[in-house]
Copies of this chain bind each other. A is one copy, B any other.
């Protein structure tokens, strides 16, 4: 039983071992499915993902996106229309070649992302400027044959994927869409307590087929960045390949400007890695499947405490708090506390004979282990307050970690730790390649919002006002 001080040491010692271990015990997924890179979502994990999806859906609806669902299978021919795209994804697509014992006339691939499924139809949906903007999204399974080591939530071969696709009349409107996507991402990051960097990727690291890509990168305890969102400006790259045009006010046919915005279950991977401690994950209250677990501390036959807890539970549920009760009779309170922590349930209510007598509740915060005793009648108000506090404190702690791990480097020799380095870079491919290879790190890009800087390129030593972020990645 963890009492007042929560320890988070193990994840800095051996991240992989710690991560796999707490995932197993949190009961979010089962990794024993007999295909590599494909896990089973258990009820608790799927509930967490569904709550994140629900919030994403709300934000999408609020910004006039409409939900659709496109088929999984894409004909070879459609996939091959945009040259960079196939170069980027060709090596990792799964091919369906047979049905029953028959060979298919046309091989079909499992979508790694849905540009090539959607865009042949966009041309049919869009006629004139009145049909623009077109803003749709879907939440689907996508497949990528990852050759790197797979990892639960972070690098999967079947991915739970969110993808928004938009078409606009002008580049300016497409740019504004990207700005809106980043605002939505900010809200999601707040809900999940994941601060992140918005980095405009280098040309050699952008999405296959994009004009530019903004990566949303979260810093894990390993000191490495994990991309949790990708927002892409396509300009007319795809609309030319797929012939998606609209008739403007002057009767002229023009290619639409397109953007996409993608996220996945990596959001869960990031939040577990960032906020987990030695015992398990810590799930932010806003998206926690169980926000409050009530634990009656009772010995013997008397049902008074359990009954009291059940009344309290009803009250919480009525107030739209996702709560449950652990009233198993054959399990000791200590084990119940521990299980609640292993599952990352943000708030625990311990109710024993003292609480019953004084008509109070003892609230225990999962993130800090802090205990607080309040009057039962104030339960709802206090819990909602604690949710708010936890949300902002968890975000701030992670933000501090991120800030503390961004360091400036003005010479290659300074780059040795597992940190995010801010470096001068003249912007050329040659110097970028030199920096990446000599440091064994990637240039993740420059801040989307820009920042003032004046330094020398780490490689060619030319004066530059470009500051790039250099780091290892997951």
Listed in ascending order, the chain A residues whose CB lies under 8 Å from chain B are 30, 32-35, 38-43, 46-47, 50, 66-75, 78, 90-101, 108, 110, 117, 120-121, 124-125, 136, 140-141, 143, 145, 158, 160
Contact = CB atoms under 8 A, between A and B. Distances in A.
A99 B95 contact: yes
A101 B91 contact: yes
20 contacts: A33-B70, A33-B71, A34-B78, A35-B73, A35-B74, A35-B75, A40-B68, A40-B70, A41-B70, A42-B68, A43-B66, A43-B67, A92-B99, A93-B100, A94-B108, A95-B96, A95-B98, A96-B97, A96-B110, A97-B98
A164 to B, nearest CB: 13
A181 to B, nearest CB: 19
A132 B102 CA distance: 41
Contacts of A33: 70-71, 117, 121
Given A73-B35, A75-B35, A100 B108 contact: no
A78 to B, nearest CB: 6
Contacts of A100: 90-93, 145
B43 A141 contact: no
A471 to B, nearest CB: 28
Given A75-B34, A108-B35, A121-B33, A67 B46 contact: yes
Given A33-B70, A69-B46, A94 B98 contact: yes
Contacts of A69: 40-41, 46, 160
Given A35-B108, A69-B160, A141-B141, 10 more contacts: A32-B121, A40-B69, A40-B71, A41-B70, A42-B68, A43-B68, A46-B68, A72-B143, A73-B94, A90-B100
Nearest to A89: B100
A140 to B, nearest CB: 8
A47 B72 CA distance: 19
A176 to B, nearest CB: 22
Nearest to A117: B33
A201 to B, nearest CB: 23
Contacts of A117: 33
